[in-house]
Amino acid sequence: MPALLSNYDKYPVIEINGGSDCWQGWKAIGEAIRKRVENIPGRKKIIAMECYPGILDREILTHLPEALGANFVLTRNFMLNEEKIHELVFPDVTDDEIFGYITRLKLEDFFDRQAVQTFKEDSALAQDTIYVYGPGATLLAEHFDLLVYFDMPRWEGQLRFRRNEVGNLGLDNMTTRASLQYKQAFFVDWRVCDRHKKLLMNRWDLVVDTTVPGNPKMVVGADLNKAFQETIARPFRLVPFFDRGPWGGQWMKRHFDLDPAQKNYAWGFDCVPEENSLLFKFGDIIFETPGINLVFAQAKSLLGAPVEARFGAEFPIRFDFLDTIEGGNLSLQVHPTNEYIREHFGMAYTQDESYYMLEAEADACVYLGLKENISPDKMIEALNEAQLHDVPFPVEDFVEKFAVKKHDHVLIPAGTVHCSGKNSMVLEISATPYIFTFKLWDWGRLGLDGRPRPINIAHGKEVIDWSRTTQSTKKELINTFVPIARGPGWREEYTGLHPAEFIETRRHWFTGKVTHSTHNSVNVLNLVEGREVIVESPFGAFKPFLVHYAETFIVPAQLGEYSIRPHGESEGKECATIKAFVRQKA
């Protein structure tokens, strides 16, 4: 039979009721800002034009000063010099290639306090309109008359690092290796500017989407905040993005209708609000905003009060894809324990995870846990030998290997040595801090940049759970399915995660309608079997929501009860979802 055409929606749009005033293009945006400024009483006005890191300054500073008939005061001129910024961030950035420490810095720490004070004193005497542009604009123009926020998602920022288009916060380091720029942004820049953004979201007047170079869009800040309120009143999806990797495969390219010219796709990210975005339709204009903005704006309603109390304005559950079909093995790796990640990296919790086998070829496997009675010293010695002398590490002498098939579920608590083998399509379900992977062995290959990928044996050996051996792995980590409940046309199974982890997962098989409850925790689901299902409210609280195979969707905690049933091509056929939520403390 010929393959079915892909129905995976790569650009899920959320239609906003009532729309908003919305402008597209620098000319229209400039004119709209100018009119707003003119309508502010008095001759002297202070306009704060706040920016998220990664904004293309040259684009904005080419178009808007001319449209507004004014020169901009640039916040960069009031920041510390680059040498002092490097000194400031070094304790958090460190000299490690991958890891740093989640910063406790604030945006004001990047500024020369005396220069800022002088500006405030001088501007108090000014008679004309002042436009302050850049990250920290509201620190200089703290008594602003209008706040325009220029925003973009982190993923686009990463692409701009790769294209050598932008530098880190306060730095002109566009030629620095992209991986190092990303690390500094992850540990410092984004943290600093997210903290500042949260303080401004209820005060912004206009918000500009600068995601697509040359095609900006702008909405009224109050309308964007209303859109966040509307979004958590329904199920929704984030905008997925896909990336290549040295072990990447071909499944996503075919099934998600991705660019066939790319050599492979290794990762698919469709539920990482920190880096994914949301698409809002205001009238005829599609406006893109970082997914994390929704978490900042509506944390308690989205996450549920118990989850928000535990994690704050962070989204603790992450779904992504790992494609090794016609590709290679992932790196052999281990994740840190909670204690280790807190002590060494400043994170509150670690990356416990699991692999759900969305698809698997006949030879698919996972490397999971250790063999019985191995010597830890000999294993570490062999790993170091492989790293230092470029010789193969005898993986199967130390690490257990298990065959896997479609719909298997493999649990991976922190400290468990693991990796997915070639020829599998993994739905990875994990806690959010995804950067903290200690690679132990990378099969002797190079990264896409032609450089060896960093290996982290020194960290890894400190967190390996040496008791996680063959028998306990079989019993506790592989297909720990337990029937929970059943009804007409449906059955529910407990599928994990491990008792040491805060995420719990459930699988539902169904040919008819099955009822779910959020139980006061955000629910994240993926359709793992079936062409199409529909999500509905028993009370008509939201419009029916259509979901296709392999799509991840989010059900806000405040929705309470909802149902899922086969739809369209799947009617009369068995479908399945896997659902993750935060386990409530006893």
Judge if 396 and 515 occupy the same domain. Answer: no
Q: Please check the confidence at residue 269 and state whether its pLDDT lies above 80.
A: yes
Q: Are residues 393 and 440 in the same domain?
A: yes
Rounded to whole angstroms, what are the CA distances from 315 to 295, 304, 522, 581, 586? 7, 11, 9, 11, 21
Specify burial of residue 111 (Cβ count, 10 A radius: 0-12, 13-18, 19+).
Answer: buried
Number of domains in the chain: 3
* 110 and 34 housed in the same domain: yes
* pLDDT band (50, 70, 90) for residue 586: low
- The model's pLDDT over 502-529, given as tens digits with 9 standing for 90+, comes to 899 999 999 999 999 999 999 999 999 9
Question: Given the structure tokens 């009119």, which residue do they identify?
Answer: 35
Could you tell me if residue 265 is inside a domain? no
| 349 belongs to a structural domain | yes
Residue 403 shares a structural domain with residue 441 = yes
Average pLDDT, the chain: 94
Residues 458 and 502 grouped into a single domain: no
CA angle, 313 then 315 then 321, to 5°: 160
Do the bridges between strand 418-420 and strand 409-412 make them parallel or antiparallel, or are there none, so unpaired? unpaired
Look at the chain and count its residues.
586
pLDDT tens for residues 164-220? 999 999 999 999 999 999 999 999 999 999 999 999 999 999 999 999 999 999 999
Strand order in the sheet with 514-517: 514-517, 561-566, 532-536, 545-548
Please report, rounded to a whole number, the percentage of residues in the chain having pLDDT higher than 70: 98
pLDDT of residue 4: 66
**CA nearest 290: which of 194, 220, 431, 146?**
194
pLDDT classification of 453: cutoffs 50, 70, 90: confident
- Tens of pLDDT, residue by residue over 111-158, are 999 999 999 999 988 888 999 999 999 999 999 999 999 999 999 999
- Do residues 540 and 472 share a domain? no
DSSP letter at 263 equals S
Q: Tell me which of 420, 442, 477 is where a domain ends.
A: 477
For 292-338, the pLDDT digits (tens) are 999 999 999 999 999 999 999 999 999 999 999 999 999 999 999 88
**How many other CB atoms are found less than 10 A from the CB of residue 233?**
15
CATH number reported for the structural domain that contains residue 169 in this entry = 3.40.50.300
C-alpha to C-alpha distance for 180 and 114, rounded to whole angstroms:
31
Question: Are 458 and 514 found together in one domain?
Answer: no
Residues 492 and 458 in one domain: no
pLDDT given for residue 434 in this prediction:
65
The CATH number given to whatever domain includes residue 450 is 2.60.120.10
Domain stop point among 219, 237, 260: 219
Residue 338 lies in a domain: yes
The verdict on residue 290 lying in a domain is no
Q: Tokens 């890191």 correspond to what residue?
A: 53
Residue 179, token pair as written in the block:
């991986």
Q: What is the pTM of this model?
A: 0.96
Residue 77 inside a domain? The answer is yes
As beta bridge partners, residue 236 has 554
Residue 540 has pLDDT above 90, yes or no: yes
Determine the Cα–Cα distance for residues 238 and 252; give it in Å rounded to an integer.
17
Q: Looking at the structure, tell me whether residues 467 and 504 fall in a common domain.
A: no
Residue type for position 122: D
Per-residue exposure over 516-540, b if at least 16 CB sit within 10 Å of its own CB, e if not: bebebbbbbbbbbbbbbbbbbbeee
Judged against a pLDDT cut of 70, whether residue 2 lies above it is answered with no
How far is residue 500 CA from its own chain's centroid?
23
Percent of the chain with pLDDT over 90: 87
Positive or negative: CA dihedral 37, 40, 45, 46: negative
Among the residue ranges 69-78, 348-357, 408-417, the one predicted with the least confidence is 348-357
Would you say residue 11 lies in a domain? Answer: no
Report pLDDT for 436: 82
Are 332 and 456 in contact by the 8 Å Cβ rule? The answer is: no
Does residue 538 lie within any of the structural domains?
Answer: yes
Nearest residue to 85 via CA among 133, 50, 53, 55: 53
Split at pLDDT 50, 70, 90, the class of 43 is confident
Same domain, residue pair 571 and 433 = no
> Percent helix, strand, coil in the chain (nearest 5)?
30, 30, 40
Which of 179, 201, 219 is the last residue in one of the domains? 219
Is residue 521 within 8 A of residue 307, CB to CB? The reply is: yes
Kindly report whether the peptide bond that precedes residue 497 is cis, defined as omega within 30 degrees of 0.
Answer: yes
Contacts 24+ apart (CB under 8 A), 455-458: 455/387, 456/98, 456/99, 457/380, 457/383, 457/384, 457/387
Give residue-wise pLDDT tens across range 20-34: 789 999 999 999 999
- The answer, yes or no, to whether residue 69 has pLDDT greater than 60, is yes
Residue 247 placed within a domain: no
Q: Is the pLDDT of residue 1 over 50?
A: no
Q: What is the domain range of residue 518?
A: 482-582
If asked whether residues 63 and 202 sit together in one domain, one would say yes
Taking the C-alpha atoms of residue 170 and residue 300, their distance in angstroms, rounded to an integer, is 33
Q: What is the average pLDDT across 468-474?
A: 95
pLDDT of residue 429 exceeding 60, the answer is: yes
Residues with Cβ within 8 Å of 96's Cβ and at least 6 positions away in sequence, in order, are none
3-state class (DSSP) for residue 516 = strand
Same domain, 134 and 151: yes
Q: How far is Cα 123 from Cα 121, in angstroms, rounded to an integer?
A: 6
